[in-house]
Amino acid sequence: MIQGSTVVLRAHVPPGPLPPGCTYPWPQRFTLAPLPAGTYSTEFWLDQTLMGAQAFDVSTPTAELALDGARFRAVGRFTSPAAASARPATAVQLGDDSGYFWFFASGNVELTIKVLDGRGVNGHFWVFIASMTDVAYAVDVTDTTIRCVAAPCATRTYAAPAGHNTNFIDTQAF
Give the domain-ending residue among 14, 40, 58.
Answer: 58
Tell me if residue 121 falls in helix, strand or coil: helix
pLDDT of residue 174: 92
- Higher-confidence residue of 79 and 44: namely 79
Residue 73: name the closest of 38, 120, 113 by CA.
113
One domain for residues 22 and 107: no
One domain for residues 86 and 126: yes
pLDDT of residue 1: 62
State the Cα–Cα distance between residues 55 and 72, nearest whole angstrom: 29
Least confident residue range of 18-22, 89-93, 139-143, 152-156: 18-22
One domain for residues 86 and 40: no
Domain count across the chain: 2
Phi, psi values for residue 122, rounded to 5°: -135, 10
One domain for residues 146 and 118: yes
Domain that holds residue 9: 2-58
pTM for the predicted model, two decimal places: 0.69
Q: What is the mean pLDDT of residues 53-72?
A: 89
Q: Is the pLDDT of residue 151 over 70?
A: no
One domain for residues 73 and 7: no
One domain for residues 79 and 141: yes
pLDDT of residue 43: 83
One domain for residues 71 and 156: yes
Helix, strand, coil percent values for the chain (each to nearest 5): 0, 50, 50
pLDDT of residue 30: 65
At residue 147 the predicted structure's pLDDT band, cuts being 50, 70 and 90, is confident
Q: What is the DSSP letter of 62?
A: B
pLDDT of residue 152: 61
Quick: pLDDT tens for 72-131: 999 999 998 777 789 999 999 999 999 999 999 988 999 999 999 999 999 999 999 999
One domain for residues 73 and 49: no
